[in-house]
Amino acid sequence: MSWNLEWLRTFRAIYETGTLSAAAQELFISQPGVSLHLNSLEAFTGYRLFDRSARKMVPTEKGKILYNYILEPLQKLETGEQHFHKRSQDERATISVGMCFETFQYTLEEHIAGLPFNLIIKFGEYPQMQQDLDNGLLDLIITPQKGSQQNLQYQPFSKEKLVLIAGSQTDTAALEALLRQDDIREAANLLKQQMWYSTAADMEHLKNFWLKHVGEHPGFSPNYIVPNISSIIRCLSHGAGFSVVPDFLCAEAIASGKIKLVWEGKTPVENILYFGTRKKTMYQEEIRRLEQLLKEKWETAAV
Strand partners, 165: 243, 261
Chain-centre distance of CA 107, in angstroms? Answer: 14
Whole-angstrom Cα distance, residue 239 to residue 169?
Answer: 5
pLDDT at 83: 63
**What domains lie within the chain, and their CATH numbers?**
5-84 (1.10.10.10), 92-303 (3.40.190.290)
Whole-angstrom Cα distance, residue 19 to residue 32?
Answer: 12
CB 118 within 8 A of CB 95: yes
Residues sharing a CB contact under 8 Å with residue 33, sequence separation 6 or more, in sequence order = 24
Low-confidence ranges of the chain (pLDDT < 70): 1, 81-91, 201-202, 300-303
Q: How many CA atoms lie within 13 A of 199 on its CB side?
A: 17
Q: For residue range 82-136, what is the model confidence (pLDDT) as tens digits?
A: 666 555 445 688 899 999 888 888 888 888 888 999 999 998 888 889 988 888 8
- DSSP-derived 3-state class of residue 43: helix
Whole-angstrom Cα distance, residue 263 to residue 127?
Answer: 30
- DSSP-derived 3-state class of residue 98: strand
Q: What is the dihedral of CA 251, 253, 255, 259, to 10 degrees?
A: -110
What is the Rg, in whole angstroms, of the alpha carbon atoms belonging to the chain?
26
Whole-angstrom Cα distance, residue 17 to residue 31?
Answer: 13
pLDDT at 47: 92
Print burial letters for 164-195: b (CB count within 10 Å at least 16), e (below 16): bbbbeebebeebeebbeeeebeebbeebeebb
Hey, how many other C-beta atoms are within 10 angstroms of the C-beta on 265?
Answer: 16
Q: How far apart are the first and last CA of the chain?
A: 65
